[in-house]
Amino acid sequence: MKFELAKTDAHSQARAGVFETDHGTILTPIFMPVGTLGSVKAVHQRDLKDDIQAQIILGNTYHLYLRPGLEVLEQAGGLHKFNGWDRPILTDSGGYQVYSLAGTRKLKEDGVMFQSHIDGSRHFFTPENVMDTQRTIGADIIMAFDECTPYPCEYNYAKNSMRLTHTWLDQCVAQFENTEPKYGYDQVLFPIVQGSVYKDLRTQSAEYIASKNCFGNAIGGLSVGEPIEMMYEFTDLVCRVLPKDKPRYLMGVGTPANILESIALGIDMFDCVMPTRNGRNGMLFTSEGIINMKNEKWKKDFSPIDSNGLSFVDSQYTRAYLRHLFQAQEMLAPMIASLHNLAFYLWLVGQAREHILAGDFTEWKNRMIPKLTTRL
């Protein structure tokens, strides 16, 4: 694998890069649709690939481990073969589930005891077995096992949690280096910066993560409820510490505006459930603003969903019809909305890249932000 910067913006920290994997090239900055269970909810692989040209998608270790399970995934020949997606895949380690499933897990020094949300069965995740699991899933990019701290978070908790994440990282790196890919293509490991919203901890964590000299680096523990300015502040702080020549991944972010602002701070990779989950719930992101498709005001709006949109659904369907589909709870509604939103997110990061290459990124970004946050 290879990551190279094609251009760095003169007026911000934004960068345009080329990330080459055995499953194809990723042009950064990039947005990665989330496909937790091995499927981007409500979206066909064909539409993801041919229509909106997603370059990489996510999967989740915790979910895939529980179902369908490692035996199935291994026999299938890995997740790519199993779900028919032949472009890159990144798997989250389950670190986020340590946070989101706080009610059904027990945190220990050597790992996390999870109680399955599906059948209540107990499972123990360790840095080592999480690496093995991700080897078996066959993700191109593997995430270190971490603890995503909540917000707010006491200093001492954040400090101890960060230390635990670092200890686990050592174990992850060792296990990763002592094992081989299972399906004949390369895999890389990304460690994750934690430290909550404490400057000294974040700095310390970023330095530690950078010292491991992994292929790329990720920032976790943000966008968990803290004020948005705080998220930018800490993204900026961490980016200033992380090496410039390696890809930077801001986990779980975010709104279209969040993404542009974070690109300006030096982030290359994003993932977020927002375009798919909010899409399923009737929210559409467009270049003119945000639409709540369920609102009565679209009842008789027979204009296209998004006249600037690049997906076939944007011109194929009208707002009135899509609202009708949501009202009637037709399955087609979340499908259309998800595809539209993902198309928009990918268009947005693609445009960001174009403007970085053209040298007018900041100007373009500042022009876009007010539109992105408008409520139509």
The answer to the question of residue 235 lying near RNA (CB under 7 A) is no
Residue matched to tokens 């080592």: 128
Residues 215-234 that bind RNA (CB under 7 A): 218, 220-221, 223-224, 228
Beta-carbon contacts of 248 under 8 Å, excluding residues fewer than 6 positions away, are 216, 217, 218, 219, 239, 242, 266, 267, 268, 269
The answer to the question of residue 134 lying near RNA (CB under 7 A) is no
Give the residue among 263, 246, 179 at the shortest CA–CA distance from 209: 246
User: According to CB under 7 A, which one of 128, 140, 146, 261 is a site residue for RNA?
Assistant: 146
CB of 71 to RNA, least distance (A): 22
Residues 150-189 that bind RNA (CB under 7 A): none
The answer to the question of residue 292 lying near RNA (CB under 7 A) is yes
Residue 302 exposed, middle or buried by CB count within 10 Å (0-12, 13-18, 19+):
exposed
Q: Which is nearer to RNA, 7 or 117 (CB)?
A: 117
The answer to the question of residue 277 lying near RNA (CB under 7 A) is yes
User: According to CB under 7 A, which one of 29, 78, 216, 254 is a site residue for RNA?
Assistant: 254
The answer to the question of residue 103 lying near RNA (CB under 7 A) is yes
Q: Which is nearer to RNA, 10 or 376 (CB)?
A: 376
DSSP character at residue 144: P
Q: What are the structure tokens assigned to 335, written together?
A: 């499908």
Asked if 92 is an active-site residue, the reply is yes
The answer to the question of residue 205 lying near RNA (CB under 7 A) is no
Binding window for RNA (CB under 7 A); candidates: 8-16, 57-65, 131-139, 345-353: 57-65
DSSP per-residue letters across 209-272? HHHT--S-EEE-S-SSSS-HHHHHHHHHHHHHHS-TTS-EEETT---HHHHHHHHHTT--EEEE
Catalytic pick among 9, 47, 92, 314: 92
User: According to CB under 7 A, which one of 161, 187, 278, 311 is a site residue for RNA?
Assistant: 278
Q: Which is nearer to RNA, 187 or 223 (CB)?
A: 223
The answer to the question of residue 92 lying near RNA (CB under 7 A) is yes
The answer to the question of residue 284 lying near RNA (CB under 7 A) is no
195: amino acid identity, one letter = G
Mutual angle of helices 256-264 and 228-241, in 10-degree steps:
30
Q: Which is nearer to RNA, 71 or 296 (CB)?
A: 296
Catalytic pick among 47, 146, 268, 271: 271
Q: What are the structure tokens assigned to 56, written together?
A: 């990489």
Q: Which is nearer to RNA, 326 or 347 (CB)?
A: 326
CA 91 to each of CA 278, 326, 353: distance values in angstroms, whole numbers, following the listed order = 22, 31, 24
| Strand 141-143 relative to strand 2-8, pairing | unpaired
The answer to the question of residue 341 lying near RNA (CB under 7 A) is no
Give the residue among 24, 25, 28, 26 at the shortest CA–CA distance from 8: 28
Number of residues that bind RNA (CB under 7 A): 56
The answer to the question of residue 295 lying near RNA (CB under 7 A) is yes
Within a 10 A sphere around the Cβ of 213, how many other Cβ atoms?
11
Q: How many helices (H) and strands (E) does the chain have?
A: 15, 17
The answer to the question of residue 143 lying near RNA (CB under 7 A) is yes
Q: Which is nearer to RNA, 5 or 320 (CB)?
A: 320
User: According to CB under 7 A, which one of 7, 41, 49, 163 is a site residue for RNA?
Assistant: 41
Q: Which is nearer to RNA, 80 or 280 (CB)?
A: 280
- 197 forms beta bridges with none
Distance CA 213, CA 234 (A): 21
CB of 301 to RNA, least distance (A): 12
Q: What are the structure tokens assigned to 168, written together?
A: 């686990």
DSSP character at residue 282: T
Which residues are marked as active site?
Answer: 92, 271
Interface residues with RNA (CB under 7 A) are 34, 36, 40-41, 58, 60, 63, 92-93, 95-97, 99-101, 103-104, 117, 143, 146, 148, 192, 218, 220-221, 223-224, 228, 251-255, 258, 271-274, 276-278, 280-283, 292, 294-297, 299, 327, 329, 331, 334, 375
